[in-house]
Amino acid sequence: MVLLMNINRIFRNLMSYKINKSALLVFFLFAALMLLKSYPVLSEPGKSLIGVESCQEYPEAVIKHDIDRKKPITGQDSNKLHENVTNKEKKQSGQRRCGDFLSKRSAIGKNDSDEKPKIPQLYENSHKDDNQNTPPLILSRGTELLGLLNSDPKKLAQDYVVNKLNSQITNNTQKWLSQFGTAKINLNIDHHGHLDESSVDLLVPFYDDKDHWLVYSQYGYRHKDSRDTVNLGVGTRLFINNWMYGANTFYDNDLTGNNSRFSLGGELWTNYLKMSANAYFRLSDWHNSRDLANYYERPANGYDLIADMYLPSMPSLGAKIKYEQYFGDNVALFGTNNRQKDPYAATIGVNYTPVPLITAGVDYKLGKEGKSDGIFSLNVNYRFGVPLSEQLSPENVSSLRSLAGSRYDLVERNNNIILNYLKKQQHFRLLVPVIEIGGYGGEIKPIQIQSDTPFKNVTWDLPELFQKNGGIINVESTHGYTIQLPEYQPDGKNDYTITGTIKDVQQNVQIQIHVLQRNISLSVNTTDPLIADGNAKYVYTATLLGADKKTPIENAKLVWDTDKKDPGLKLKPDSEATDKNGQQTATLTSTTPLSDIQVSVSINGERITTDKKVSFTETSSSYRVSRVTVDKDSGLYNNGADSYTFTATVVDAHGKPVADKPIDIEWQTEPTEAGLKLTKQSSPVSNAQGQVTATLTSTVVVKDVQVSAKTVSQPTAVNADKKVSFAELSDSYRVTGVTVEVDKDKVRYNNGADSYTFTATVKDGHGN
């Protein structure tokens, strides 16, 4: 007690000078180490922590650990210690183990040698037997040395009693929790009996093959800032090639403030390095805050990245790097009085562990807008079942940094829920209870509801006629609405009243709608008939003015249409919308002859049709002969009767057959002969396939006659697909048969007078 009071006076004297934080940290570490070294009980050999009557309740690894305190253990032996212990201990009964343990403990206690024995790894030797499958127990209790030194000396006696009570509660709780798994307890009872800043965490394995796989659950409770928070999580760890790959998920519930969230986390560990990443997602929504009046609160979404590193050559020295960010407009990452939008913070820390029992550290946290915080800590980590002398041995620090030693370590995460706040508006008042909206049919207008208090939802009562004529109210965001005005009704109602009910406060807002009439005019450049060639066009101009018939309506999208429908009829606007003069033009073309066409233009139900009709006509000047065919091959004669029939197909400028139209075709022959005659069909009208014919006859012999045809406007004639010839008819004569008249009853004699009559039949090439 006197020593603590002296340290407190020294601290107060130092604070009167400008000494930096690093110097204070070095001083506190030195004072703490001197205090531990000078305390007699800490330098004595560790006493037995278990008795004969309770030997069966403790892990075999703990017994084996205490028995072999004087046996040097190599790194390889240490890694296999668990396997050796469990195999040996399975063969012994519980009573025999206790007897052997006590006998060896007595022998060790009588050893007066000054030689300091090498001891096993603190973590790797601390497994229970195969029937229990339970990891070692780790008790971590942090004590703020700065808080102790700053205390009033008059209260140190009271603090001493409170600390003794804390120690007793911690010891008893620790023994109970050690049945389940890794436990970390921080119990702080203040002078009023409150457990503020206290926490309990427990990791319980579900499945552990002691080699590659570990499946666990983790439970936590903490009391901070007068809030009780529970943490429930499950996870798995895979150990491969000196690396651990872990994944976990947690559910956090602030029982006091009714806040809940869940998280997803990942772990990547190896010797002397532990890396963790966590993402936090809120489950509860806005509700009244218990910390701030006139505020709502809810958990903030966020994430953090954590890395703990140690030097292999100096395992007692470690470093910590952490980056975290949470999202929201008023997030209390640095406390409720330092709320920020989407705050972030980077933490850099160093820690020093001279012996496994003690860890001292300093963290510096720097966040958004220069927010910062410095944390000095001195933690006492007591491990039950391990002699205190071993926990004060610097040789055992390296085992804390090994992957095997951290197999059952608790998950590195922020177990406290970071909150986001929203300010309340106490009195709801509509600044404009009646909203007037005027415009043209189909226009989309914003609904601006002005109030001095935020609201969530509005229920709209829409008149049936408003909806029938195309009126719609759309939700654009949480508090934003737009209205699409109904179409203008020339002979109907164009004024509407809409009522909206604000659910939060059950107040009504009224909207008066006035749909205005547009003024549309439509003109065309000419009404003269145009040729249906797809190039000749009519140009229409639509002009759109406002209700005053003066103001042009710009960027309005018009709909163009024709009363007659034909695939060859095309009506195309020249722009997407009206220009600054409220005008838009469109062109009308056709490849099909059509008469009396009317064009109309409309916008949101308002339509105007031009009273001027236009037509597209066909012209023979565009006709042309596309091909000429002949019905038969050569082989006719110059008898003036044999004839070839030639067929000419006539198409328009678009390649379509000119059907049922009078067409003047010019036929030509090459060569030209006086007896060669080409006769056109009796009617100049083409058939349904756009064809006209002509026949060719001859009274003279002629070979390779080329027939061609063209229209009047066609510059070049089209030759027939074959040449034809006319042969001499007499050249085709031939005797087809000879007959003789013989009288069977009369005998002819060689008197020079008797005779026979022979008859020869001669035919031409046609068999005539």
CA angle 383, 385, 387 (to 5 degrees): 80
Q: Which fold has domain 434-514?
A: Immunoglobulin-like (2.60.40)
Q: What is the CATH number of domain 139-422?
A: 2.40.160.160
Residue 301: predicted pLDDT: 97
Instruction: Please say whether the beta carbons of 485 and 445 come within 8 A.
Output: yes
Contact 487, 446 (CB under 8 A): no
Q: What are phi and psi of 172, to 5 degrees?
A: -65, -40
- Measured distance CA(542)–CA(524) in Å, rounded: 9
| pLDDT (0 to 100) of residue 220 | 93
Indicate the domain borders of the chain. 44-109, 139-422, 434-514, 519-614, 620-731, 734-763
Structure confidence at residue 412 (pLDDT) = 93
What's the DSSP call for residue 365?
A: E
Mean pLDDT for each consecutive 10-residue tract of the chain (768 residues)? 42 40 40 40 36 37 37 43 39 37 34 39 40 39 45 59 60 54 64 66 89 94 90 97 96 95 97 96 94 90 95 90 95 89 93 85 85 73 68 84 86 95 73 80 82 74 88 76 86 86 77 86 87 88 87 89 92 92 93 90 85 82 87 82 91 84 88 87 88 91 90 89 83 64 70 75 61
Residue whose C-alpha is closest to residue 675's, from 723, 630, 632, 640: 640
- 600-to-469, 582, 608, 609, 732 alpha-carbon distances in Å: 21, 17, 6, 4, 73
Query: Helices (H), strands (E): how many in the chain?
Result: 12, 44
CATH topology identical between 139-422 and 519-614 = no
Burial (Cβ within 10 Å: 0-12, 13-18, ≥19) of residue 191: exposed
pLDDT of 450 reads 74
Cα(716)–Cα(537) distance, integer angstroms: 29
3-class SS string, 435-486: EEEEEECCCEEEECCCECCCCCCEEEECCHHHHHCCCEEEECCCCCEEEECC
The pLDDT of residue 172: 60
CA distance 515 to 489: 9
Nearest to 552 by CA among 520, 509, 595, 508: 520
SS3 call for 643 = strand
Q: 81-89 vs 60-67: helix axis angle to the nearest 10?
A: 110
Q: Which residue has the tokens 């406002």?
A: 546
> Given the DSSP bridges, would you call strands 614-617 and 530-531 parallel, antiparallel or unpaired?
parallel
pTM, two decimals, is: 0.39
Q: What order of strands is seen across the sheet that includes strand 507-516? A: 434-440, 507-516, 495-502, 458-461
CATH code given to domain 519-614: 2.60.40.10
Best CA proximity match to 408, nearest among 280, 249, 246: 246
Closest by CA to 344, choosing from 323, 322, 372, 329, is 323
**Amino acid symbol at 383:** R
Structure-token pair, residue 532: 């249906």
3-state SS string for 671-691: CCCCCEEEEECCCCECCCCCE
The number of angstroms, rounded, from the C-alpha of 160 to the middle of its chain's C-alpha atoms is 58
Which CATH number does 620-731 carry?
Answer: 2.60.40.10
Residue 4: both structure tokens together: 């603590």
The DSSP result for 109-127, as a single string, is: HT-----------TTTT--
CB within 8 A of 759, min separation 6: which ones? Answer: 738, 739, 740, 741
Give 697's strand partners.
643, 677
Three-class SS state of 167: helix
